[in-house]
Amino acid sequence: MPTRFAMRELKLTYLDKVQTETTRFLNERIKHDFLRPDRDLTLDLTVREAEILISANEEVKNLADQGGLKELHNKYNDLTGKVELEYFNVREHLAKTLQVIEGKETEIFE
């Protein structure tokens, strides 16, 4: 039985060409990242993300071209931050109210 085997060394001679053509395709066909406008279109996209971006309708593409989609994402992120802050404030207020109630209950039952 042989104890060694031969393997061909991988050559990536077409890798640069494939990456360049893929990037060119993304820039021509997609132009904007509708899912996360804060990032550039690179080869870091998953196939699923690329499918979603390619299948976007014209209304979404036009909104992105005019800058409205990025504005919408920024507004969403701002509102999300405000909601989280208000939620935290309400929880804190409820905790303080519960402490007051527990203190009053302790006074009543002593």
* Percent of the chain with pLDDT strictly greater than 70: 98
How far is the C-alpha of 23 from the C-alpha of 17, rounded, in Å?
Answer: 10
How far is the C-alpha of 66 from the C-alpha of 93, rounded, in Å?
Answer: 42
8 band by pLDDT with thresholds 50, 70 and 90: confident
Tell whether the model's pLDDT for residue 3 goes beyond 70. yes
How far is the C-alpha of 48 from the C-alpha of 32, rounded, in Å?
Answer: 15
Q: What is the pLDDT of residues 34-69, one digit of tens each?
A: 888 777 788 888 889 888 888 888 888 888 888 888
Tell whether the model's pLDDT for residue 82 goes beyond 90. yes
54 backbone dihedrals φ, ψ, rounded to 5°: -70, -35
Tell whether the model's pLDDT for residue 16 goes beyond 80. yes
22 band by pLDDT with thresholds 50, 70 and 90: confident
Q: What is the model's pLDDT at position 1?
A: 66
